[in-house]
């Protein structure tokens, strides 16, 4: 509930009135570890290459962009095929302004039956469902946040959702779902004419193979990816899905004309040319994650095993909101995801991680005195 009182003259939809806008606090901090971004900025060479392309594109900004973004979708298909050893064609790829827009388009195209998800998971799945008028059902998870696949299969059979959402690695827990489990879920969804959406926003940080490798076998499987996380390109806003060409055809019905600006398309194309640089930080972020996990455990805290670039931890005695505030007072911004007794921190650069650990140590030591 937002608690906001809307004026009576404003004909805002009744179902939207109790909602709050999405809002990870955007406050200045010395260590910004709250939205699962990659902490490493583009190199000057990449920034220059984007500026050069933007200049070329600017000379033609009186014209609408390619509304089908064919050059970009071909580049994305190539990128995926190199990464996952698949033979995806560009007509199986759809790109949008961040994977959030992809998720919205899926609800708009396929949302006339309920959508099913398993929380805690990415909070925007149910929120975008609500905003697009789609009935959201929550299947829940086990107490340790793992997915109970048998229960999930039963939920799919009972609820008969047109869209079932799986996030792997899951946000905010970092836990994963295997390809074997995904296959079973896709089979169950197919039996009720439903689609299985696998949100792989953090896939590059995981050592499990991508569900993109299953698409040839399961036409009802949709994999969502983003350039915002491992790819270190959150500010450009570029997300995409990979699926059967019929699913991509359905996206053409719900997309706004020219939704992806010429500047966004050009910047993303240049970034894909620099993919080695942009993905080059993934292994060091994974190494840092292992170090931070060890340090938290040495402090007596519990950490959910994570295959992403963030960690969900518990074992502190104060309220999450209180610890969150004390960390912010020390220049460290992490995320209170609204889960009882847990907080989530994104792996930052070495200095940021050190600052986080030092601040946390100081707070917890103060507590035990
Ligand atoms: C699981 C998941 N999916 C999708 C997104 C949205 O990413 P973007 O819209 O930047 O591509 C996020 C962002 O935090 C996420 O955690």
CA–CA distances in Å: residue 282 to residues 38, 106, 296 = 9, 29, 21
pLDDT at site 251: 98
Residue 364 scores a pLDDT above 90: yes
Residue 2 scores a pLDDT above 70: no
Q: How many other CB atoms sit within 10 Å of the CB of residue 15?
A: 10
Q: What is the mean pLDDT of residues 102-130?
A: 97
Backbone angles phi, psi at 134, to 5 degrees: -100, 135
Closest listed residue to residue 166, CA positions, set 135, 132, 200, 142 = 200
pLDDT at site 368: 65
Contacts of 276 (CB under 8 A, 6+ apart): none
**What's the CA gap between 234 and 73, in Å, rounded?**
18
Q: Is the CB of 118 under 6 A from ligand 1?
A: no
Instruction: Measure 286 CA to ligand 1 centroid, in angstroms.
Output: 19
Q: Is the CB of 239 under 6 A from ligand 1?
A: yes
Q: Is the CB of 167 under 6 A from ligand 1?
A: yes
pLDDT at site 303: 98
Q: How many other CB atoms sit within 10 Å of the CB of residue 51?
A: 11
Residue for token pair 């847990």 = 342
Instruction: Measure 299 CA to ligand 1 centroid, in angstroms.
Output: 30
For the chain, how long is the longest CA-to-CA vector?
A: 66
Can you state the percent helix, strand and coil of the chain, rounding each to 5?
45, 10, 45
Q: What is the mean pLDDT of residues 129-149?
A: 95
Residue 369 scores a pLDDT above 70: no
**What's the CA gap between 150 and 157, in Å, rounded?**
11
Instruction: Measure 368 CA to ligand 1 centroid, in angstroms.
Output: 37
Distance of CA 165 to the CA centre of its chain: 12
Q: How many other CB atoms sit within 10 Å of the CB of residue 140?
A: 14
Determine contact, residues 96/105, Cβ cutoff 8 Å: yes
- Per-residue confidence at 66, pLDDT binned at 50, 70, 90? very high
Cis before residue 5, ω within 30 degrees of 0?
A: no
Which of 105, 201, 206 should be mutated for ligand 1, with most atoms under 8 A from CB?
201
**What's the CA gap between 122 and 126, in Å, rounded?**
8
Instruction: Measure 99 CA to ligand 1 centroid, in angstroms.
Output: 6
Q: Is the CB of 168 under 6 A from ligand 1?
A: no
Residue 122 CA: nearest ligand 1 atom is 1
pLDDT tens readout for residues 243-301:
999 999 999 999 999 999 999 999 999 999 999 998 989 999 999 999 999 999 999 99
Backbone angles phi, psi at 160, to 5 degrees: 50, 55
Is CATH 3.40.50.2300 the classification given to domain 25-40+281-368? no
pLDDT at site 4: 86
CA-nearest residue, atom 7 of ligand 1: 99
pLDDT tens readout for residues 153-185:
999 999 999 999 999 999 999 999 999 999 999
Instruction: Measure 7 CA to ligand 1 centroid, in angstroms.
Output: 32
pLDDT at site 23: 72
Instruction: Measure 59 CA to ligand 1 centroid, in angstroms.
Output: 32
- What topology does CATH give the domain 44-274? 3.40.640
pLDDT at site 7: 95
Q: What is the mean pLDDT of residues 303-321?
A: 97
Alpha helices in the chain (DSSP H): 44-58, 70-84, 98-110, 124-131, 149-159, 179-191, 245-254, 262-273, 275-279, 282-298, 320-329, 350-368
Asked if the domains 25-40+281-368 and 44-274 are classified in one and the same CATH topology, the answer is no
Q: Is the CB of 171 under 6 A from ligand 1?
A: yes
Q: How many other CB atoms sit within 10 Å of the CB of residue 290?
A: 11
pLDDT at site 24: 76
**What's the CA gap between 155 and 134, in Å, rounded?**
17
**What's the CA gap between 137 and 129, in Å, rounded?**
10
Instruction: Measure 363 CA to ligand 1 centroid, in angstroms.
Output: 31
Specify the pTM.
Answer: 0.96
**Is the CA virtual torsion 331, 332, 336, 341 positive or negative?**
negative
Round the average pLDDT of the chain to a whole number and report it: 96
pLDDT at site 104: 98
Domain boundaries, the chain: 25-40+281-368, 44-274
Residue 167 CA: nearest ligand 1 atom is 1
């Amino acid at each position: 509930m937002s608690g906001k009182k809307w004026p009576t003259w404003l004909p805002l939809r009744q179902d939207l009135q109790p909602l709050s806008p999405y809002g990870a606090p955007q406050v200045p901090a010395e260590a910004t570890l709250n939205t699962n971004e990659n902490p490493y900025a583009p190199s000057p060479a990449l920034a220059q290459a984007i500026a050069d392309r933007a200049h070329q594109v600017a000379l033609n900004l009186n014209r609408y962009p390619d509304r089908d973004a064919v050059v970009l979708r071909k580049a994305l298909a190539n990128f995926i095929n190199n990464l996952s050893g698949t033979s995806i064609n560009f007509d199986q790829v759809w790109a949008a302004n961040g994977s959030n827009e992809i998720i919205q388009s899926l609800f708009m195209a396929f949302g006339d039956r309920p959508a099913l998800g398993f929380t805690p998971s990415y909070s925007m799945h149910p929120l975008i469902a609500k905003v697009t008028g789609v009935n959201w059902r929550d299947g829940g998870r086990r107490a340790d946040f793992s997915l109970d696949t048998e229960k999930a299969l039963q939920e799919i059979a009972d609820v008969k959702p047109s869209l079932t959402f799986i996030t792997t690695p899951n946000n905010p827990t970092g836990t994963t779902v295997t390809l074997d489990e995904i296959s079973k879920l896709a089979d169950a969804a197919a039996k009720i004419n439903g689609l299985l959406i696998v949100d792989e926003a953090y896939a590059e940080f995981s050592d499990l193979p991508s569900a993109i490798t299953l698409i040839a076998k399961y036409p009802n499987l949709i994999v969502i990816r983003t350039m915002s996380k491992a790819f270190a390109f959150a500010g450009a806003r570029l997300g995409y899905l990979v699926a059967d060409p019929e699913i991509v055809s359905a996206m053409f019905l719900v997309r706004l004309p020219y939704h992806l600006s010429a500047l966004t398309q050009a910047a993303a194309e240049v970034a894909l040319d620099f993919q080695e640089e942009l993905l080059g930080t993934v292994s060091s972020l994974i190494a840092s994650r292992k170090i931070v996990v060890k340090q938290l455990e040495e402090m007596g805290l519990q950490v959910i095993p994570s295959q992403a670039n963030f960690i969900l931890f518990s074992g502190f005695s104060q309220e999450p909101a209180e610890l969150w505030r004390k960390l912010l007072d020390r220049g460290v911004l992490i995320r209170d995801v609204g889960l009882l007794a847990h907080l989530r921190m994104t792996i930052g650069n070495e200095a940021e991680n050190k600052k986080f650990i030092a601040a946390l140590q100081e707070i917890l030591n103060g507590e035990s005195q």
